[in-house]
Structure 1
Amino acid sequence: MPLPSVRNRRADARRSKAAILDAAVRILDVQPDAGMEAIATAAGVTRQTVYAHFRSREQLLLAVVDRITEEIVAAMDAADLHAGPAADALLRLLDAGKQAAHRYPVLLQKISTLPVSPQIDHDRHTSVADRIRLVIQRGQQTGEFDDRLPPDWLVTVIVKLAHSASEEQEAGRMSSQEAEHALRTSVLRMLGAAAGEDSPSWPRGSACGGTRQYGR
């Protein structure tokens, strides 16, 4: 059993790490090129303490991605994915993810430029993909969605479509409403589902494209 002093040091380390991540999210979304010194000051710790937890700025940014992904997943879970028709649940899930990602537009844009391996990119999406897959499987089991394509493939395509809608909006080739409509229509048609233009589950004017959502 760890001695009290050891437990206290571990607790202090957890608190300082959490403070650094909180500060990094807050500072980098306003100043995406801010250095470790600025983040340390905002967190109330020394620069050496920041480097004790994160060996490089890139490592800190990757940890920030994980923190934001946790927020996105929590927002998706709060959307009650088990309630109502599967199509409505999926649209709520995508919209919840978009709303959470929109809290950090500048930061996510910066993070999206970081080079990562395909495996890291895949792992980064796992928690989000699991929730999308759950809704797709429910829809296929109830007959709401076409079951001729495997859920894993459909999850991959939906994530890619969300990123594409985001990129089109960011590039100015589509308005937020156009990106929303294109994504929504593409997803529902691919799944063999249908939803009216005025479906309350995805209100007009909410741009599901978003800024590099789902941990990107």
Structure 2
Amino acid sequence: MAATTKVTTRRADAQRNIDAILSAAAECLSRNPAASTSEIAKAAGVGRVTLYGHFPSRAELLDAVFVRSIATGEEALGQVDLTGDPRAALIRLIETSWELVDGFRTLLIAAQEVLPPARVRELHADPMARVERLLERGRTEGAFRTDLPTTWLVGVMHNVMHGAANELQAGRITSAEAAPYITATLLAAYTPPGERVPG
């Protein structure tokens, strides 16, 4: 009985350490995408040995932080109303998506530096599936172009969003400008050829 209690306590302590490390990493990386593991460990109130015991490399730590951030974002995206006119729904989805990207952009920059592009895209699978479903409905209803594959159009949104984050980081646009720029770009990209782009 005592041995079981000790194991349970160790597991609880380990989980608290993991939660503290992930929270500290998200906070540190939101301020500086180059934040070191030493800084993160200090902010989490643990030693580097403990941090590396849970996350053997910076890449694994960033992967875990990114996974948690994506899960948080999914909760917000799940609240977006995607019913009604597909174009209006797309605009609502862009606005919420940009808020999330803007909030996590330095974390995204840090992740892009250490994670393979395929892994970054894999972690975006659920948000991109939501975009794909909306685009498919819009294509069926004649709101969006059908001459290009849906997967291509989803990739366009993914790249435009990340491009806006990079432009903001470089100081070439403001956060307030980004969502309207993204919206204008994607509506132009998705409108069927020969039709007037909504604006």
TM-score normalised by length of structure 1: 0.74
Please provide the CA RMSD for this pair: 2.8
What is the CA distance between 1:136 and its match in structure 2?
Answer: 0.9
Cα distance in 1 for residues equivalent to 2:154 and 2:105:
24
Residue 147 (structure 2) pairs with residue 148 (structure 1)? yes
Residue 5 (structure 2) pairs with residue 20 (structure 1)? no
CA deviations over 1:98-137 (Å, ceiling 9, x no partner): 112222444433333x143342233122122111111112
Q: Which residue of 1 aligns with 2:86?
A: 86
Question: Runs of 5+ in structure 2 lacking a partner?
Answer: none
Instruction: Provide the secondary structure at the position in 2 that maps to 1:79.
Output: coil
What is the CA distance between 1:76 and its match in structure 2?
Answer: 1.4
Amino acid at match of 2:103: R
Percent identity over the alignment is 34
Cα distance in 2 for residues equivalent to 1:48 and 1:31:
22
What is the CA distance between 1:175 and its match in structure 2?
Answer: 5.7
8 Å Cα contact 1:24-1:64 kept in structure 2: yes
Amino acid at match of 2:85: P
CA distance 1:31–1:153, shift in 2 (3 Å): closer
Amino acid at match of 2:124: H
Instruction: Provide the secondary structure at the position in 1 that maps to 2:145.
Output: coil
Instruction: Provide the secondary structure at the position in 1 that maps to 2:132.
Output: helix
Amino acid at match of 2:98: K
8 Å Cα contact 2:128-2:154 kept in structure 1: yes
Q: Which residue of 2 aligns with 1:77?
A: 78
Matches within 5 A, 1:111-126: 111-112=111-112, 114-126=113-125
Q: Which residue of 1 aligns with 2:191?
A: 192
Cα distance in 2 for residues equivalent to 1:177 and 1:42:
31
Instruction: Provide the secondary structure at the position in 2 that maps to 1:149.
Output: coil
Q: Which residue of 2 aligns with 1:101?
A: 101
What is the CA distance between 1:186 and its match in structure 2?
Answer: 2.7
Runs of 4+ deviating beyond 6 Å: none
Query: How many residues are treated as equivalent by the alignment?
Result: 193
CA distance 1:171–1:51, shift in 2 (3 Å): closer
CA distance 1:169–1:23, shift in 2 (3 Å): closer
Amino acid at match of 1:154: L
CA deviations over 1:14-61 (Å, ceiling 9, x no partner): 222111100111123224443333322322333222111100223212
What is the CA distance between 1:177 and its match in structure 2?
Answer: 6.3
8 Å Cα contact 1:146-1:192 kept in structure 2: yes
Instruction: Provide the secondary structure at the position in 2 that maps to 1:29.
Output: helix
